[in-house]
Amino acid sequence: MGDLEHVRSWLDEQLPLLLDKYDVPAAAWAVLQGDQVVDGARGVLSKATGVEATTDSLFQIGSVTKLWTSTLVMQLVDEGLVDLEAPVRAYLPEFRIADEEAAARITVRQLLNHTSGFEGDIFTDTGMGDDCIEKYLPTLSEVPQLFPPGERFSYNNAGYCVLGRLVEVLREKPYDECLRQHLFAPLGLTHAATSAYDAIMFRAAMGHIELEPGAGYQPAPIWAMARSNAPAGSMLSMRPRDLVAFARMHLEDGRAPDGTQVLAPGTAARMQAHEVSLPDIGLMGTSWGLGFERFDTADGEIVGHDGNTIGQAAFLRMVPGTGLAVALLTNGGDAFSLYREVVGHVLEELGGVPGPQLPVPPARPEPFDATRFVGTYSAEVADLTVSQDADGRIWIEQVPKGMFEELGEKPERSELVHYRDDMLIPLQPDRGMHMPHAFLGDDGEGRALYLFVGRIVRRAGA
């Protein structure tokens, strides 16, 4: 294994080349080893302004925020104010979804480990006020239940908004204030912002998106998603050094550098431990903990989380028991390929664990009868229609809905090929990744009931 300074030198030398290779406007990184941190940044925060990225620049961390929300919840568990096995309604009697029986059963644990079972990509904008999460909760009243609570994993943004409201009610203060008082302050963070109003005091990255294939990445039309989704990851931004300070607390059994127990002894390990297995699609980890994404490898466990907002992508990886963590924050382009090279190098050099092996389609796809998979799978944010033509080629058309349609995203049609088992995989990558599509369950007529792409999408009409 290498040393920290060698890794710093490699990143300083390679990052400019990799940004150019993968068309990423800017990236910032930090690596923690024990009590030592090195960091760096290159590129421009916005192509519109040309402002250069520095180590103190703020990037959105997206869904990595879920680790912060789960930590706030587990602090309440430590204090005896929350029972993981209790129904959410024990703390939020007003919690409603379309399935009343499921709403009464869903537990705090099931929200934390993404097994609650209701549709989770609900991005309703309820304004910018401190009451936006409180107002968000009633908007879930007609959200469908996709499967019985606890039956399987389905990534759920809305569930983390519910958890954010739970924190607000029990702490009797807004979610952002809970972050500042219970995490920023004890960790001594100086470059973390809960809103655009805070972020503007620093150099802040703008996301870049490609509205038309091949048109190149341009500054996104908005800086952030709805504030109502803040506990799920729509707003929080920071520099990588502050993100690895949070990771250090989790690696050191909940202790801050000054000895303050941010979490009770043993709680951090509980959060990182295996809770539920995922379909083995090769992305989004192999299992999940209480907030933590887990990568179970032959050489040991890696934990962390990814985050994606409007044109920004964030990656956090930690190796329990080694004191090693790496954060990579980006603002557009082929972020996943950059992640594979940068984070992979750090994990192999300093942790002795393999870097990410992203799934790729077979070089010579075999003919495959996709009859069981054909049909439309419908969610709040998109309809996904799988078809197979007379030549045997398999296609998926994605038609955006809701906020993504409003942002100008267009319908996309792409070819899928057989990957393995009940999985198909796109021939062409999306931002550097080929997301396997797993087809699960049975609708009673021999067809797949669910399409799994990190979250469950249910067959329309089933």
| pLDDT at site 416 | 97
449 pLDDT band, cuts 50/70/90, is: very high
| pLDDT at site 2 | 65
The domain made up of 375-459 has a fold known as: Lipocalin (2.40.128)
Average pLDDT, the chain: 94
Backbone φ and ψ of 430, nearest 5°: -120, 110
Distance (Å, rounded) from C-alpha 31 to C-alpha 348? 13
Distance (Å, rounded) from C-alpha 86 to C-alpha 104? 10
Mean pLDDT, residues 156-166 taken together: 98
| pLDDT at site 356 | 78
| pLDDT at site 244 | 98
| pLDDT at site 407 | 65
Segment 419-445, tens digit of pLDDT = 988 999 999 888 778 999 999 999 999
| pLDDT at site 404 | 72
Share of the chain above pLDDT 70, in %: 98
Mean pLDDT, residues 210-215 taken together: 75
| pLDDT at site 9 | 96
Per domain, the residue ranges of the chain are: 1-358, 375-459
Segment 334-349, tens digit of pLDDT = 999 999 999 999 999 9
Angle, vertex CA 35, rays to CA 17 and CA 326, nearest 5: 35
Mean pLDDT, residues 266-272 taken together: 98
Q: How many CB atoms lie within 10 A of CB 405?
A: 14
Note if 63 is an active site residue: yes
Residue among 9, 46, 57, 63 flagged as catalytic: 63
The alpha carbon of 362 is separated from its chain's Cα centroid by a whole number of angstroms, namely: 27
| pLDDT at site 91 | 98
| All residues at 6 or more sequence positions from 175 whose CB lies less than 8 Å from its CB, including other chains | 133, 164, 165, 167, 168, 230, 231
Mean pLDDT, residues 172-197 taken together: 97
Segment 4-17, tens digit of pLDDT = 999 999 999 999 99
Contact of 377 with 386, CB cutoff 8 Å: yes
Distance (Å, rounded) from C-alpha 192 to C-alpha 198? 8
257 pLDDT band, cuts 50/70/90, is: very high
- More confident site: 328 or 211: 328
| pLDDT at site 430 | 80
Q: Is the pLDDT of residue 1 over 70?
A: no
Radius of gyration in angstroms for the set of CA atoms belonging to the chain, rounded to a whole number: 21
pTM, two decimal places: 0.95
Distance (Å, rounded) from C-alpha 357 to C-alpha 443? 33
Q: How many CB atoms lie within 10 A of CB 125?
A: 16
Q: Can you read off the two tokens belonging to residue 192?
A: 């973390």
Mean pLDDT, residues 359-372 taken together: 93
Q: What are the counts of helices (DSSP H) followed by strands (DSSP E) for the chain? A: 13, 21
Segment 397-406, tens digit of pLDDT = 999 987 776 6
* CATH superfamily ID and name for 1-358: DD-peptidase/beta-lactamase superfamily (3.40.710.10)
